[in-house]
Amino acid sequence: MIDFVTDPLSQEFIRRALLEVGLISLASGALGCWVVFYGVSYAAESLSHALFPGLVIAALAGVPILVGGIPGIAIAALAIAVVGRVPGIGRDAAVAVVVTGFFGLGALLALSPSSPPGIQSLLFGDILAPSDSDLLISAILAVGVVASLTALHWRLLTVAFDRTTARSLGASPTVSDIAVLILLAGAVLVAAQGLGTLLAVAALVGPAATARVFTHRVGTMMAAASALGVCAGVAGLYLSYYAGLAAGASIAGCIVVGYLVALVLSGLRSLMERVAVPAEAA
């Protein structure tokens, strides 16, 4: 049994993968709560897809993919903002056009004959092979996201609670929205690097949605979401190691299973409460 746990840990690549998963889960879990409260899950999905060409260009140029990801995500966000202002096009449609356009551009570059093999790992991530610089940049971004969330906590809380009166309490809804989107871009970069552009959103939204089911305060929800993300990440890596499955997909699968389990447990709990109340009344 102990071997079952320690055997993967003897492998250098698994230890590095665990570190990367920990960094992704820490930042994504905590920020994911605000993604849920600010209703920007679609923006998270859009940004993670639209930064694909930036990652491909970085991979082709042989630099750390986050170096391409940062300008990639900035250009994507700018394009979404600009196209969203074109009269006659709804914001949703504008986002869809930009995201599909960018994603298609990334696919064109990635699938051209001159591309090196293995570049499709950008789509599904390469959690098992982060370089030293990948890990370092992930760590800096993750610490930055968590530190910013700690400092901004009360402003974000006040705006999410009641946008209309937040300004009179010194919390600007516009500043909070922008702060959440900037942090989201940072977290998406970290998550896309490990889980790929297609699965990154799972780490952002899944653990937060799961934590929401059984927590009653934002602080505990953030801590629970980060912890759940780490657990799902570790479980996914072990599943991948022993069952020979793709690591990123295994982690995303574990996150979804966690959410389903929480839903079933919460359903059972409210069912038991409904059964218990008439029994007490009788």
Query: Which residues of the shown chain bind another protein in the complex (CB under 8 A)?
Result: 37, 150-155, 157-158, 160-162, 164-165, 167-171, 212, 215-218, 221
Burial tier of 179 (Cβ tally within 10 Å: 0-12, 13-18, 19+): buried
CB of 43 to another protein, least distance (A): 19
CB of 158 to another protein, least distance (A): 5
CB of 143 to another protein, least distance (A): 16
Q: Look at residues 64, 19, 23, 37 and name the one whose alpha carbon lies nearest to residue 156.
A: 37
- The DSSP call for residue 167 is G
- Is 75 or 157 the residue whose CB approaches another protein more closely? 157
- Is 64 or 173 the residue whose CB approaches another protein more closely? 173
Residue 40 in contact with residue 270, Cβ under 8 Å? no
Structure tokens at 144: 């930055």
Amino acid at 177: D
Task: Count other Cβ atoms within 10 Å, centred on residue 150.
Answer: 10
CB of 217 to another protein, least distance (A): 5
Residue 40 in contact with residue 181, Cβ under 8 Å? yes
- Is 11 or 150 the residue whose CB approaches another protein more closely? 150
- Is 120 or 172 the residue whose CB approaches another protein more closely? 172
Distance of CA 191 to the CA centre of its chain: 5
Amino acid at 278: P
Structure tokens at 179: 């702060």
- Is 72 or 186 the residue whose CB approaches another protein more closely? 186
CB of 159 to another protein, least distance (A): 10
- Is 81 or 218 the residue whose CB approaches another protein more closely? 218
Cα angle value 139/141/146 (rounded, 5°): 95
CB of 279 to another protein, least distance (A): 23
Cα angle value 174/179/185 (rounded, 5°): 130
- Whole-number Å distance between alpha carbons of 203 and 187: 10
- Is 25 or 176 the residue whose CB approaches another protein more closely? 176
CB of 245 to another protein, least distance (A): 35
In the numeric block, the tokens 């060409």 are attached to 53
